[in-house]
Structure 1
Amino acid sequence: MKHSTRSISFQQLFTSFGVMILFCQVILLWFCHHIAHTWCTHDDLKIFRPKNLRPKKILPAIFPKKEQKETIVEPRVCMSPEKDVPWPLSGTCNKPLHGVSGISAESRSCGFCSSPYLQSIANQLEEYRDQCKDLVVYGVAFGAKYVGFINESATLSMDESVCAFHFVLEEEADTVGDLRSNEFVIRVDGSKMPYKDMRRNVKILKMSPLDLFPWAERVIWRDTKLLPKKILPRSYMDYFNRTVEHFNTCASLVSLPIHDSSMGNRWEDLDFPEYKGHCGAVVDAAIKRPTVSDGLETLVNQCQLTLQHYGHESLVDGKTFLDRSLIDSALMVWDMRTATCKKYIGDLGCSWLDEIHCFSDRDQVSFGRALDASGASVSKELPNGDQLFFKDNRPTVHIARTDCHWYFQALDICYDPNYENLRVAVVIAGTHQRFMFSTALQHVLAPLVRQSHNVDLYLSLTTGKAKAYRFAGAFHPDPLLEGKNETELKETITREVQSVGANVQTLLVSEQIEIENDPLIFHMYKQFKKKLPNEHPLEYFPALDIRNDEVRARNKVGNHNFLRLFRAIENLWESAIERERAGGKQYDYVLFLRDDSYWFRDFHLNGVVALGGDIFIPACDARDPPLDPHEMCDHGMVARRGVADIFGRYFSTMFKLDLAGCAANLTESFTKQGKRGCNTEMILKWTADTYNVNVTRVGQGYMQFQRSARVETVNGTITECFHKFCQSRHDPLILGTKHADMQMCKSLETK
């Protein structure tokens, strides 16, 4: 993927004058420290000697001053709010020793040798050795909210084949409800933990799988917040085998997603997760919610110094080292079956804890530095987007691609062979002027290919002008298609689709889709004229609305466009069926998409279909005005092949439906004494009900598009606007700053 030259500017993220003053004060406070430390090393880890840490010119400041000046920064200074707490994790009694390459004046080792209380916890866990040594899953629930997550998950289906440990504060342990037979509560006395801040104490347990469970062969950390989310692996052993075992590494983690929660409000501008963006997001979160971190000043300086330290690094696969090593630490998989991996896991955890001891308690901000210190800084991007980090030419750490994050799909789906190499047909019909080709290419076709699916495009476009149902302005084509004749359109579309690894199976370009001579239309017209010779059939079919002359005329245009659209889709569907016959295999899923769908982020098919159902549509349950109970959003659909014929042949299906029966379900206030029947969204729901189709309504965050248009405003500017806007209560679409000002088309003054 091409590296974006528009990397996030923190000046843009924090433009508020008040915030600017705050951060100027933060920077000034930091300069008051000036305590020189060197970053020493454990002998077999990456060496950072004082000569490597000569003061350098600082990169453009993360947080702006009124006057931007060139500043010299001292080597890293320990600045944690609890930096004066003695190092709590001596490992001098461990064999082999696992150590740290960090900021300390002397090489540190890690373990529970100097902490009788932590060692007593490890001794308590020893009693589970025989029954739990194959695989341990554990997490920490410090605080009533997190204990609540344990209790919420009690009714969910969970993997009960492995031992699961919940570390809970002594005073809250009795509030834990009934547990499964494979779950165990470990009581923790917070007053005996090394730090005052419980977030830091959590990190000790989180980064110490080797000291807590030295007898276990496999260990998985899971944040307690994940328990009620229905995204955890159905089988932890299968997940281990498909990640660590498959890639032959010591550890497996998941990349941070490109999402507003992890990248801030400029997430739409990113092609991949960026360290700068993540720093901005966590600092912004810390400003709004001080409990997110125990030291805002520390967090600001840590980000700034880390960016400075790696500023000279060359790009690999178009990304910096810090970008490549961004992870979500909520799920971590460790292989402790070999001495090599045990030593590596101990060293990595020790370096990571050293960073947390000295700087902020935000472990994702410090992971890259710890990974580098562990000696695994060389990486390779796999064809599917996963990253492998190597130590001594051996794959050591696997980082799953951002597509695999639980924001988009359940954890085990990404590597489940049942969700790989699916045959997917993408069916789109519409007009040259309205077709949002670029976003479909970037956020639908390309991601489907990256997700290891076989993708075929079936596309029909008309070039003639057609009357719009409501919008009176002029549409402008997608930038990739603007000014192209029929031949050029076909060449451009075919070339671009093939460039992302998908196939163009059918591409039809015509002046217009004629329906008047279609046998079904001809027969319907003939029968209608016998009953109402002075009326036009398209004022009544398929959607009836004759409340007044204006509505009657508009409804006629809408019905005409509707029938032409689905006649074109049916033509494409017949082509897809012929393709199936020729190849001897059916498609697994079919995407029926509108031409004016403007996609904001990548579509993740696996996450949608894993929800279960026959068809998947946007819930659109936060729309204004709201959907009628008899309506179903018709902006786009994912269909299992078993029911795809109903909607692929929707044009023909329309003539078989009992539309009078559909209207009979409506209230008198809606039908206006028979002058109004089911609209197209009601007809879609009536169709699904008639054929007993299992409909799954998904949040707009699963299908991140809106029906949109490119129009010319009165001042001559070509701009994108929402033709229709659909939103959901749960998993909503969140727009970044790039599209924050995008308006409804009807609110614009257009030419």
Structure 2
Amino acid sequence: MLHIAKRSCHWYYRSFARCVASSNTHIDEEMIKDNETTPTTTTTSTKPRVAVIVAGTLNRFIFDSALKNLIKPMKKRASVDYYVSLSTARMKAYRSDSGYTDRLQPDPTLPSSSVEDFVDIEEYIRTKIASLSSSVGAVNLQKSVDIDSEPMLIARRERALEENPDEDPDSRFPIIDNRNAAISQRTANANRNLLRLHLAIQSLWKTATNWENEEGFKYDYVMFLRDDSLWLKEFDIRNLIAKGGDIFIPACDARDPPLQPSEINDHILVSRRDTADVFGNYYSELSKRDVKACMKLLPDDLTKVGKRGCNSEMLLKWIVDERNITVTKLGQSKIPFQRSANVKLPDGSNVPCFHKFCQSRKHPLTFTNESNAIKICKQIDWKKVFEIK
């Protein structure tokens, strides 16, 4: 009937749950006296504070494994705040001709939404996170991330049309691949998805930093995750705390095909707070840059005589190197996840597969009987699965 709270905790912003005192928070009862101010809270916990930031689309979103193998084990040693932004509209996939990317579906453990604003899914996410004594910083479910109204992109598109009036204005930023018309259009679709991803992350990061400012604290670590991260074993944050470096990424040095010297893996990135602004504001970081400068660093056999530029993994390495950010590469067992997909079969059932597969030479990820049965998506004969002639 009565709710007295600072504005960062107001129900209007759906943030009341994160302001309820947890078990490690002491309420000073001596402050509760007639005609005195509301009680103050002091936290005595020395646990590191971690922001988990996830962005992408609902139909690629994998949630249950993050609850069980990321947030639950991490909660034992850290205070965890969860931020997620998901688009509900289906976007054109980079490789829509792969046989499965147009048949993806959300995590089967999520409820089937019965309302247009997907608030029932939002409530499910909030309830599950709260059940692990963790906080929800934001749950943003929207039809799509509006990049068309973004001023920096509008200006860049205008310049692109002046330079190449017959091309899709998104075909050369941030990734360039103009080997032929079909690849150019595919790249334009990929660029729009990439820009939506990073603009969504930037919005979540603004929410996270506003929360820091409201409460007078700083996160110790920030995890930037893709929507399709399938956590196969329990994550131990001590593997990061025990090591030096500014950011932590999977080594992925046993990948097939192998990473180029100009690439670093961008499937997940964990940053210490001092460098987190670079990646939280990665959309703006990219928008201020001339990506052709990255392209000039590549050997001719990769650029195909100027027709092909830096991919997302090359762009990340380029920015990290220019910023003099120290990278620590971890074995896959230290960050035990794979980018995966849930594919809806003709009978309505679900089959998971590894959409992007990484492995490391040192500390490789070993698989359980259950995860060992998961195949790499591109190795499945989808024409046979869907009886496509």
TM range (shorter): 0.7 to 0.9
Letter in 1 for 2:204: L
Aligned twin of 1:18: none
SS in 1 for 2:318: helix
> Given that residues 603 and 704 in structure 1 are in contact (C-alpha distance below 8 angstroms), is that contact kept between their aligned partners in structure 2?
yes
Aligned match of 1:483 in 112, 118, 121? 112
Supply the distance in 1 between the matched residues of 2:228 and 2:145 (Cα, whole angstroms). 17
- Aligned to 2:321, the other structure's residue is in SS state helix
- Counterpart residue identity of residue 551, structure 1: I
Give the equivalent residue in structure 2 for 1:429: 55
Preserved contact between residue 614 and residue 643 of structure 1 (Cα < 8 Å): yes
Deviation at 1:468, TM superposition (A): 1.3
Gaps of 5+ in 1: 1-382, 385-418
CA–CA separation in structure 2 for the residues paired with 1:433 and 1:520:
28
Q: Is the 8 A contact 2:108 2:350 kept in 1?
A: no
Residue 503 of structure 1 pairs with residue 135 of structure 2: yes
Residue 32 of structure 2 corresponds to which residue in structure 1?
none
Q: Determine the structure 2 residue equivalent to 1:455.
A: 80
**How big is the shift at 1:480?**
2.5
Residue identity opposite 1:524 in structure 2: R
CA distance in 2, matches of 1:635, 1:457: 18
For residues 469-514 of structure 1, the C-alpha deviation after alignment (integer angstroms, 9 at most, x for no partner) is 1244211211221412411011100000000111001111101111
Matches within 5 A, 1:576-615: 576-615=208-247
Distance between the aligned counterparts of 1:472 and 1:518, measured in 2?
A: 33
Instruction: Please tell me whether residue 687 in structure 1 is matched to residue 346 in structure 2.
Output: no
Give the structure 2 partner of residue 469 of structure 1.
94
Q: CA deviation at 1:748?
A: 4.2
Once residues 345 and 257 of structure 2 are traced to their aligned partners in structure 1, the CA distance between those partners, rounded to angstroms, is 26
Report how far residue 433 of structure 1 moved: 1.2
What is the number of residues matched between the two proteins? 334
Provide the secondary structure at the position in 1 that maps to 2:182. helix
Equivalences for 1:15-30 in 2 at 5 Å? none
| Amino acid aligned to 1:643 | T
Amino acid at match of 1:442: K
4+ runs deviating over 3 angstroms: 713-717
Query: Is the Cα contact below 8 Å between 1:475 and 1:712 reproduced in 2?
Result: yes
Q: Matches of 1:610 and 1:748 in 2, distance apart?
A: 43
SS of 2:370's partner is: coil
1:521 aligns with 2:153: yes
Distance 1:673 1:561 in 2: 26
CA deviations 1:401-446 (Å, max 9, x no partner) are xxxxxxxxxxxxxxxxxx9511110000111111110011111111
1:661-688: CA deviation from partner (whole Å, max 9, x where unpaired):
2111111111111100111100000010
Determine the structure 1 residue equivalent to 2:28.
Answer: none
CA distance in 2, matches of 1:584, 1:715: 52
Are positions 1:668 and 2:300 aligned together? Answer: yes
Of residues 280, 288, 294, the one that matches 1:648 is: 280
Distance 1:479 1:649 in 2: 32
How far 1:716 moved relative to its partner?
A: 4.8
Q: Which residue of 2 aligns with 1:722?
A: 354
Q: Is 2:84–2:204's contact at 8 Å kept on the other side of the alignment?
A: yes
User: What one-letter code is carried by the residue in structure 2 that aligns with 1:594?
Assistant: R
Paired with 1:635 and 1:490, the residues of 2 have a C-alpha distance of 24
CA contact 1:615–1:696 (8 Å) conserved in 2: yes
5 Å matches for 1:352-391? none
Query: Residue 179 of structure 2 corresponds to which residue in structure 1?
Result: 547
Match in the other structure for 1:678: 310
| CA distance, structure 2, for counterparts of residue 469 and residue 528 of structure 1 | 21
Query: Structure 2 CA distance, aligned partners of 1:677 and 1:450?
Result: 43
CA drift at 1:532? 1.6
- Secondary structure at 1:481's aligned position in 2? coil
Query: What are the residue-to-residue correspondences of 1:111-150 with 2, within 5 Å?
Result: none
Match of 2:27? none
- 2:256 aligns to what? 624
SS in 1 for 2:306: coil
SS across alignment from 1:537: coil
Instruction: Give the one of 177, 200, 207 matched to 1:575.
Output: 207
Flag the structure with larger Rg: 1
Among all aligned residue pairs of Structure 1 and Structure 2, give the percentage whose two residues are the same amino acid.
Answer: 42
Counterpart residue number, 1:445: 71
Shift of 1:713: 3.3
Distance 2:61 2:306 in 1: 36
Task: Give the 3-state SS of the residue equivalent to 2:289 in structure 1.
Answer: coil
**TM superposition shift of 1:465:** 1.0
Task: Classify the secondary structure of the residue corresponding to 2:372.
Answer: coil
The alpha carbon displacement at 1:609 in A equals 3.0
Matches within 5 A, 1:136-215: none
- Contact 1:609/1:616, CA 8 A, preserved across alignment: no
User: After superposition, where does 1:207-356 map in structure 2 within 5 Å?
Assistant: none
Q: 1:739 aligns to what SS in structure 2? A: helix
Determine the C-alpha separation between the residues in 2 that align with 1:548 and 1:609.
46
Q: CA deviation at 1:616?
A: 0.2
Q: 619, 623, 635: which is aligned to 2:267?
A: 635
1:557 aligns with 2:165: no
Structure 2 contact 198–282 (Cα < 8 Å) conserved = yes
Q: Give the drift of 1:714.
A: 4.8
Residues of 2 paired with 1:546 and 1:539: CA distance? Answer: 8
Q: Please state how far the C-alpha of 1:538 moved relative to its aligned partner.
A: 1.3
Contact between 1:657 and 1:687, CA under 8 Å: does it hold in 2?
no
CA contact (8 A) 2:52 2:225 kept: yes
DSSP 3-state at the match of 2:255: coil
How far residue 537 of structure 1 moved from its aligned partner, in angstroms, is 2.2
Question: Which structure exhibits the higher relative contact order, with contacts defined as CA atoms closer than 8 Å and separated by 6 or more residues?
Answer: 2
For each residue in 1:32-80, what CA deviation from the matched residue of structure 2 results, as whole angstroms up to 9, or x when unmatched?
xxxxxxxxxxxxxxxxxxxxxxxxxxxxxxxxxxxxxxxxxxxxxxxxx
Offset, 1:712: 2.4
